[in-house]
Amino acid sequence: MKPLASIGTWRRNARTAALIGLAGAGVVGWRQPDQFYHSYLFAYLVFLGLSLGCIGLLLLHSLVGGDWGKPIRGILQAGADMIPWMALLLLPVLIGLKHVYPWTDASHFAESAAAAHKKIFFDLPFFIGRAAVYFVLWYWMGRPKQQSAGAAAAALVVYILTVSFSSFDWIMSLEPRWSSSIYGAMWIMGDALGALALAILVLARLGEASDDTSHDLGNLLLAFVNIGLAPDAGGTRRLFSRRVGAPMSCIRGPKPGTGQFW
């Protein structure tokens, strides 16, 4: 393992980058609020997806077992522990809803017959309430005591439902007239793929990856890629390239509008 001083350097660099990013975001948010909130939502979903992916992989390993997950459980748990912070970081999204989501304008449903039946679902208190429920359940699922084999089986069902519905709320509702039955599954796979890629990078950086571990995790990563690309070779590939690109430090510049996710 690398010395603690090295980890301390990572933390200092991360704090510095966060302060610089916060200052830059403040300037953009003041001058171009629409651009800021669209870009913030994109960045937020990337890092929330990493944390959710860590929870999903923890539950999966608790259920099926295997040596592949033992070296990365500590890394995955650290990612799962970020959920309370991600709940706090959702506040700017809630503040800027009118800059991002067209359904916040009541006239949108009057003008679009295709979206009119979704009006109740996009009621603002209901929308915020669902977000609160998601984070409470994710926090519960990320606790080590919920990761026994029996609890993990039930928690995985709840995990799939909550992550799917959160993707409908926060991403698919950017285009209220559009719907997709497979979108939640695609997002779950993207979360798992991104989290696994990040865990592999951290494990390699800490110097704790044996040859057998590297082969196991590499094969699992490839399996996630192949499973994810099967339903939709076009849209899913573009989605996964961004989710894997995040931990690989290759995030593309976000643009306003829904096209940033595809």
* 53-110 pLDDT per residue, tens: 999 999 999 988 888 888 899 999 999 999 999 999 999 999 989 888 888 876 766 6
Q: What is the pLDDT of residue 147?
A: 65
Query: How far from 26 is each of 5, 29, 74, 188, 221, CA to CA, in Å?
Result: 32, 5, 34, 31, 37
On whether residue 20 sits in a domain, the answer given is no
Confidence of residue 261 (pLDDT cuts 50, 70, 90): very low
Residue listed under structure tokens 């208190």? 125
**Does 7 map to a domain?**
no
Range of the domain at 97: 34-261
Helix axes 33-64, 183-206, angle to 10 degrees: 80
pLDDT over 50 at 241, yes or no: no
At 116 the pLDDT is: 62
C-alpha 97 chain-centroid distance: 19
Q: Is the pLDDT of residue 39 over 80?
A: yes
Query: What is the pTM assigned to this prediction?
Result: 0.78
pLDDT of residue 234 exceeding 60, the answer is no
pLDDT band at 132 (very low <50, low <70, confident <90, very high): very high
Per the domain annotation, does 234 fall within a domain? yes
Lowest model confidence (mean pLDDT) among 7-16, 42-51, 197-206: 7-16
Q: Check residue 119 and give its pLDDT.
A: 74
Q: Is the dihedral of CA 41, 43, 47, 52 positive or negative?
A: positive
Could you tell me the pLDDT band of residue 25, with boundaries at 50, 70 and 90? Answer: confident
Total number of domains constituting the chain? 1
Does residue 225 belong to any structural domain of this protein? yes
